[in-house]
Each structure stands twice: as structure tokens, then as C-alpha cells.
Chain A
Amino acid sequence: DARVTQTPRHKVTEMGQEVTMRCQPILGHNTVFWYRQTMMQGLELLAYFRNRAPLDDSGMPKDRFSAEMPDATLATLKIQPSEPRDSAVYFCASGPSTDTQYFGPGTRLTVL
């Protein structure tokens, strides 16, 4: 049963620290998405990749956030330095195209 995996599932860190979240897309999927969800802002699309190339990262704060796909089996989302307002659940999703997406369980980030 193929699934999108995300690590860590929970992360508590202090303001100013670097945070790295990882996502393993379903094998064979060439489209990867990063979303963020908070109570205040709701769901937001941060970035998405196709064939490992970033197609859209306009939803991502550029000064502190970066998203990469070092290879087809790994997508990373980094925040440096982290701030309390970054506290949220970060979801990764993959799909064979933008028509279908399978979500990971999310990483719950708390920045103190």
C-alpha cells in the first residue's frame, strides 16, 4: 500500500532554530506539493514541483523558507530561522499529475 511519508510527525523547536521537514513521495509520482495549515490562515499552498523542478513557490516566504527535491524520492522543506508564526501543520502531497494528489500525514511544527 503506497503512501506518502513525512518526517518528523511532530517537531517542537525554539525561535531562531533551523527546521527541516522531509517527505517521501509515492514511487513514480512526479508532482510534489507542500501545504501549510493553521487555524488563522487555513490551508495554503507553499510550493510544488514537477519532475523535481520547482514550478511554483510563490506561496512561500522566500527569506526564510526553502524547498528542494535532492532526488525523486525525497522532498525537503526548510525554515531558517524559524519563528513562532511558522507554527502549523505542514502537509506534503504527491501525484502522477496535478489532477490527483495523495497527502502525507503532516508534520506538526511548534516554534516557541
Chain B
Amino acid sequence: SQELEQSPQSLIVQEGKNLTINCTSSKTLYGLYWYKQKYGEGLIFLMMLQKGGEEKSHEKITAKLDEKKQQSSLHITASQPSHAGIYLCGAGNQGGKLIFGQGTELSVKP
């Protein structure tokens, strides 16, 4: 079965620093979703990537999809405390079922 592995599992950065979170699939990716969740709160849908090489941005967050590597990366530029939370990637497998990574916990120190 297909699995998604996120790295790192947790990350602590100083405010203003850039960071990257990776999501690697064990099989071919058919669409890749990024979500954000704050503790005790709901989920925020960040963006969806469908095509190899596709890149999307939402404010200071940029995500790219590398189909050959079966990987997506999420890059945050000039991190702020408001970026803190858990970032989740989700992907559709060949059977159309949506699966999720275990999440990356991001802390931003002021």
C-alpha cells in the first residue's frame, strides 16, 4: 500500500528563517495536498498540486511537486510565529483513495 512520509517530524526555527518540509510517497503521486493545523483547532487547506513541476504559493508558503522523485516540498520564507502548527500532506493513490502523512510539527521562536 502507498505511504506518505513527512520529514522532518518536527522543526524549531528562529523567526525570520526559511524552512522546508518534505513529503515523500512510496508510489506514484496522483495529486498532492498540503494542510495546516494549529493545536486544538481545525484544519486549513493550503494548496493542491496536480502536475509534475507544478509550483503554487500562498502568502509566504510555496509548494512544489516533483513527480519523478514522488515528492513534494513545502517552503516557508521568513517564518513568523503565525506559521507555527502541524503541516500535513495528503495524496491520492492510484485507487483514488486519499492518504495522509503523519504531520510535521513546526515551532517558530520569536
Query: Does B43 count as interface, using CB distance less than 8 angstroms?
Result: yes
Cβ of B45 to closest chain A Cβ, rounded Å: 4
B98 adjacent to A103 (CB under 8 Å): no
Chain B residue numbers with a CB within 8 Å of A35 are 43
Query: Does A93 count as interface, using CB distance less than 8 angstroms?
Result: yes
A58 adjacent to B97 (CB under 8 Å): yes
Chain B residue numbers with a CB within 8 Å of A45 are 90, 97-98, 100
Query: Does A71 count as interface, using CB distance less than 8 angstroms?
Result: no
Interface residues contributed by chain A, number (CB under 8 Å): 20
Query: Bound complex: CA of A91 vs CA of B45, how far in Å?
Result: 12
A103's partner among B44, B96, B100 (CB-CB below 8 A) is B44
For B74-110 the 0/1 string (1 means CB < 8 A from A) is 0000000000000010100001111011110000000
Cβ of A51 to closest chain B Cβ, rounded Å: 18
CB-based closest 8 A-B pairs: A101-B45, A45-B98, A103-B43, A43-B100, A103-B42, A99-B48, A105-B42, A106-B42
A residues near B, CB below 8 A?
A: 35, 42-45, 56, 58-59, 91, 93, 95, 98-106
